[in-house]
């Protein structure tokens, strides 16, 4: 798959001061990385000698055999494709340095010394090594005929992949990771997209969590991938313990980790998304601003790698990217979203004075979610829930099931319910328009009967008349009661333009504007399980039962008559496509700026055989066409709180011309050929 690069953190078994054994262990994992199509494999600090050799780092025999081991490793691995980064002590005219050496094609591409040498607590590295910060810019080393006579040496070196311009590797070693301004901070500002840290890092309680926190922060700030690998089993246990910790982080998220304290060799592999990192750097303008202020000149050393990986993809692609898979994380996310929505609405109410809240309830997911938010906002403001005026407006397609759910919801919340039928008003407007579905002698019941007999008469005009009448009713009630109309449309509907312009597209405050359809169900379920039991108003038991019934109801606008058995005839997903696909497309298109080809590639990974390729193409075509053509609705949408990384407010995250053409995107979808 294009735009990805496969990298690994390698944790070999270690033999203290036994270079030959360590070279063989390194070579074994390097070969495995080659067989599995990696571009980069990173080994631990001082891995060719062991980190715990201590005063043997000044032993002539160990230093010589370490260099010979490096030469042997380069020679034997000359035909291995991945760039291998290994650690060893290296003697120079000035003294011994703790270095990372990048090997490929039978020679050393670069040598990067450790900048900062700890001498606190259990550490005493300045006893043996010189600090890398003293190496002058532009320095080189003569490592002989095998490794190379003029090998770049210093902290001013980046490794640039020749056939993958998005892959630039920076190197730092252990303690460099822990200082206030790590070398990697300057490397990423100079263009490094992957930072590799060769560590030994003995383990103490709590250190693994701290390592990940630091790496996540570094990769998030640096818009990069961070590869961390600590010493594996076999290091001396004289006074220390080592936990074989290794992990890879991308843009703040841990993608893969080793099994800590494992006794066998490990290769922790993942496919890093270079295109996503490039996008992050483009949209985060302060990243470039910081680079301008703190620019440092680095030498670029070429190595061979491609920005393409073989399938299957070595990373998880969630089918529901808005919904965390971990239950604890999902619960925390639902709490945050609900707090954002309720507090934002309460703040808007405070700015107005003491408005009543006016809400149209249908018995569907979105209006239910908005009702829960509105009731809680009133609680926050110290206003009784009777000041929430919920209006159910049965029309030509309203079923008893959803209407009953809506009425039970309002009663259980302790809000005021108003029932205002729009069926007759709909008939009158359609008759004024001369609509083909209406005969002069019809009443509303006759109109419904005719639509059941001739469903082809149920066109967009008939549907939109009802949506606009409902909005008219809500706005007029708000005028009459000093109220604020709370919108119900969610993020998924706004992306698709699945609303009626000047109808449900309009509100005075859109509480659901930042929440996608796939996440709304999770939030409602969380409220039912975790929040309603804490409320002092309303009927908790009845509310829970009603919420679970609503969660089980199919998604429908109910603008066309039900079938003869009273069942919902107009199912949104049958016409519009699965919301789980549209939310997936939305996330990757808006959040990551993904090409249509890439969106389809990722969808195939995420959904497997659940959707044939032709179906993915069909629904992505629909998504893109609607996303582009319906921008005019988003351009004049109501205020509403942003809750996540994807938002479509024209005043915030998404500023798009309403007349942008979608043709080129659709052409790429049509031309898609799976690998």
What pLDDT sits at residue 451? Answer: 84
| Radius of gyration of the chain, Cα coordinates, nearest whole angstrom | 31
Selection from 157, 148, 34, 25 nearest residue 99 by Cα: 157
How many domains does one find in the chain?
2
Is position 314 within any domain?
no
Q: Does 627 have pLDDT greater than 90?
A: yes
- In the predicted model, what is the mean pLDDT of residues 3-30? 97
Structure tokens at 620: 């992505």
Residues 284 and 363 in one domain: no
Is position 675 within any domain?
no
What pLDDT sits at residue 675? Answer: 76
Residues 49 and 144 in one domain: yes
pLDDT > 90 fraction of the chain, expressed in percent and rounded: 82
Of 259, 276, 306, which one is at a domain's C-terminal end? 306
Burial 225-249 (b: 16+ CB within 10 A, else e): bbbbbbbbbbbbeeebebbbbbbbb
Q: Does 106 have pLDDT greater than 80?
A: yes
Q: What is the CATH number of the domain that holds 238?
A: 3.60.110.10
Give the H or E element holding residue 109: strand 107-113
Q: Which residues are part of the catalytic machinery? A: 45, 114, 174
Q: Does 398 have pLDDT greater than 80?
A: no
Pairing state between β 509-510 and 96-104:
unpaired
Collapsing DSSP to helix, strand or coil, 581 comes out as helix
Q: Is the dihedral of CA 156, 161, 167, 172 positive or negative?
A: negative
Residues 364 and 251 in one domain: no
Q: Contact, 423 vs 395, CB < 8 A? A: yes
Q: Contact, 628 vs 659, CB < 8 A? A: no
Q: Does 672 have pLDDT greater than 70?
A: yes
The angle, 0 to 180 degrees and rounded to 10, between the axes of the packed helices 517-526 and 540-551 is 160
Residues 284 and 432 in one domain: no
Q: In sequence order, what are the residues at sequence separation of 6 or more whose Cβ sits closer than 8 angstroms to the Cβ of residue 551?
A: 365, 521, 524, 525
Collapsing DSSP to helix, strand or coil, 189 comes out as helix
What pLDDT sits at residue 366? Answer: 95
What pLDDT sits at residue 602? Answer: 97
Nearest-5° Cα angle at 394, 391 to 397: 145
Is position 392 within any domain?
yes
> Quick one: DSSP state of residue 129?
-
Is position 590 within any domain?
yes
Q: What is the CATH number of the domain that holds 448?
A: 3.40.50.620
Cis (ω within 30 of 0) for the bond into 312? yes
Q: Phi, psi (5° rounding) for residue 348?
A: -65, -40
- pLDDT band at residue 452 using 50, 70 and 90 as cut-offs: confident
Give the H or E element holding residue 222: helix 207-222
pLDDT tens, 167-220? 999 999 999 999 999 999 999 999 999 999 999 988 888 889 999 999 999 999
Is position 313 within any domain?
no
Give the H or E element holding residue 23: helix 19-35
For residues 379 and 535, give the distance between their C-alpha atoms in angstroms, rounded to a whole number: 9
- pLDDT band at residue 448 using 50, 70 and 90 as cut-offs: confident
Residues 455 and 388 in one domain: yes
pLDDT tens, 214-261? 999 999 999 999 999 999 888 888 888 888 999 999 999 999 999 998
Burial of 353 (0-12, 13-18, 19+ CB in 10 A): exposed
Q: In sequence order, what are the residues at sequence separation of 6 or more whose Cβ sits closer than 8 angstroms to the Cβ of residue 288?
A: 281
Is position 317 within any domain?
no
User: Higher pLDDT residue, 388 or 573?
Assistant: 388
For residues 356 and 366, give the distance between their C-alpha atoms in angstroms, rounded to a whole number: 20
Residues 341 and 289 in one domain: no
pLDDT tens, 458-513? 889 988 999 999 999 999 999 999 999 999 999 999 999 999 999 999 999 999 99
Residues 286 and 394 in one domain: no
Pairing state between β 266-273 and 299-306:
unpaired
Q: Is the dihedral of CA 600, 604, 607, 612 positive or negative?
A: positive
Residues 219 and 362 in one domain: no
Numbers of helices and strands, H then E, in the chain = 22, 20
Of 306, 335, 365, which one is at a domain's C-terminal end? 306
Q: Contact, 489 vs 512, CB < 8 A? A: yes
Mean pLDDT, all residues of the chain: 93
Residues 262 and 379 in one domain: no
Residues 262 and 333 in one domain: no
Is position 358 within any domain?
yes
Residues 290 and 361 in one domain: no
- In the predicted model, what is the mean pLDDT of residues 543-564? 74
Selection from 23, 25, 14, 8 nearest residue 51 by Cα: 14
For residue 205, count other CB atoms closer than 10 A to its CB.
6
- pLDDT band at residue 557 using 50, 70 and 90 as cut-offs: low
Residues 187 and 118 in one domain: yes
Tokens 């692609």 -> residue: 317
The angle, 0 to 180 degrees and rounded to 10, between the axes of the packed helices 663-670 and 596-607 is 50
Selection from 105, 90, 98 nearest residue 143 by Cα: 90
Range of the domain at 415: 327-670
pLDDT tens, 288-320? 999 999 989 999 999 999 888 988 999 999 999
For residues 635 and 250, give the distance between their C-alpha atoms in angstroms, rounded to a whole number: 33
pLDDT tens, 68-103? 999 999 999 999 999 999 999 999 999 999 999 999
Q: Is the dihedral of CA 276, 277, 280, 281 positive or negative?
A: negative
For residues 198 and 187, give the distance between their C-alpha atoms in angstroms, rounded to a whole number: 15
Structure tokens at 334: 């639902």
Selection from 424, 506, 438 nearest residue 468 by Cα: 506
Is position 95 within any domain?
yes
- pLDDT band at residue 455 using 50, 70 and 90 as cut-offs: confident
For residues 354 and 385, give the distance between their C-alpha atoms in angstroms, rounded to a whole number: 13
User: Could you give the maximum distance between any two Cα atoms of the chain, in Å?
Assistant: 107
Q: Contact, 10 vs 199, CB < 8 A? A: no
């Amino acid at each position: 798959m294009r735009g990805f690069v496969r990298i690994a953190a390698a944790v070999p078994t270690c033999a203290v001061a036994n270079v030959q054994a360590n070279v063989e262990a390194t070579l074994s994992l390097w070969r495995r990385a080659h067989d599995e199509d990696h571009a980069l494999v990173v080994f631990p600090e001082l891995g060719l000698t062991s980190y715990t050799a201590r005063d043997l780092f000044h032993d002539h025999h160990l230093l010589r055999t370490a260099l010979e081991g490096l030469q042997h490793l380069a020679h034997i691995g000359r035909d291995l494709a991945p760039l291998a980064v290994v650690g060893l002590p290296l003697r120079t005219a000035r003294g011994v340095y703790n270095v990372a050496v990048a090997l490929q094609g039978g020679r050393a591409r670069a040598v990067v010394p450790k900048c900062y040498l700890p001498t606190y607590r259990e550490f005493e590295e300045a006893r043996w090594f010189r600090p890398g910060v003293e190496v002058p810019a532009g320095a080189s080393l003569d490592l002989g005929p095998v490794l190379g006579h003029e090998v770049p040496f210093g902290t001013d070196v980046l490794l640039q992949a020749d056939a993958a311009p998005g892959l630039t590797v920076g190197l730092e070693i252990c303690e460099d990771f822990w200082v206030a301004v790590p070398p990697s901070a300057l490397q990423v500002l100079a263009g490094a997209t992957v930072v590799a840290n060769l560590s030994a890092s003995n383990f103490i309680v709590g250190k693994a969590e701290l390592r990940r926190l630091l790496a996540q922060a570094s990769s998030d700030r640096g818009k990069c991938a961070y590869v961390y690998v600590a010493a594996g089993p076999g290091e001396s246990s004289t006074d220390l313990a080592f936990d074989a910790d290794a992990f890879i982080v991308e843009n703040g998220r841990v993608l893969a980790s080793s099994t800590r304290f494992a006794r066998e060799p490990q290769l922790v592999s993942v496919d890093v998304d270079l295109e996503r990192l490039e996008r992050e750097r483009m949209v985060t303008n302060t990243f470039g601003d910081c680079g301008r202020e703190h620019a440092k000149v680095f030498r670029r050393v070429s190595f061979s790698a491609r920005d393409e990986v073989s399938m299957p993809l070595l990373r998880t692609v969630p089918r529901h990217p808005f919904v965390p898979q971990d239950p604890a994380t999902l619960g925390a996310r639902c709490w945050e979203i609900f707090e954002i929505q309720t507090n934002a609405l309460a703040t808007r109410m405070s700015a107005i004075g003491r408005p009543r809240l006016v809400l149209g309830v249908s018995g569907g997911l979105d209006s239910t979610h908005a009702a829960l938010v509105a009731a809680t906002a009133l609680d926050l403001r110290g206003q009784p829930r009777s000041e929430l005026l919920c209006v159910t407006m049965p029309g030509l397609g309203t079923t008893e099931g959803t209407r009953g759910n809506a009425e039970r919801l309002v009663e259980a919340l302790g809000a005021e319910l108003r029932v205002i039928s729009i069926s007759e008003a709909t008939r009158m407007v359609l008759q004024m328009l001369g609509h083909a579905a209406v005969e002069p002698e019809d009443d509303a019941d006759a109109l419904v009967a005719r639509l059941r007999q001739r469903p082809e008469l149920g066109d967009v005009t008939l549907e939109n008349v009802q949506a606009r009448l409902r909005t008219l009713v809500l706005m007029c009630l708000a005028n009459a009661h000093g109220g604020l109309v709370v919108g119900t449309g969610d993020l998924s509907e706004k992306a698709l333009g699945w609303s009626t312009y000047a109808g449900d597209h309009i509100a005075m405050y859109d509480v659901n504007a930042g929440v996608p359809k796939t996440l709304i169900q999770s939030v409602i379920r969380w409220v039912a399980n975790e929040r309603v039991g804490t409320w002092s108003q309303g009927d908790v038991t009845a509310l829970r039962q009603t919420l679970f019934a609503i969660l089980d109801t199919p998604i429908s606008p109910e603008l066309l008559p039900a079938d003869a058995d009273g069942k919902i005839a107009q199912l949104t997903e049958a016409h519009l496509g699965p919301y789980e696909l549209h939310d997936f497309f939305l996330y990757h298109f808006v959040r990551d700026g993904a090409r249509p080809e890439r969106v389809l590639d990722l969808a195939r990974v995420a959904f497997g055989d659940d959707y044939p390729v032709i179906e993915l193409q069909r629904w992505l075509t629909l998504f893109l066409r609607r996303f582009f053509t319906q921008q005019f609705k988003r351009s004049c949408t109501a205020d509403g709180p942003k809750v996540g990384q994807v938002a479509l407010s024209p005043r915030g995250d998404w500023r798009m011309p309403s007349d942008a053409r979608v043709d080129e995107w659709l052409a790429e979808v049509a031309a898609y050929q799976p690998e």
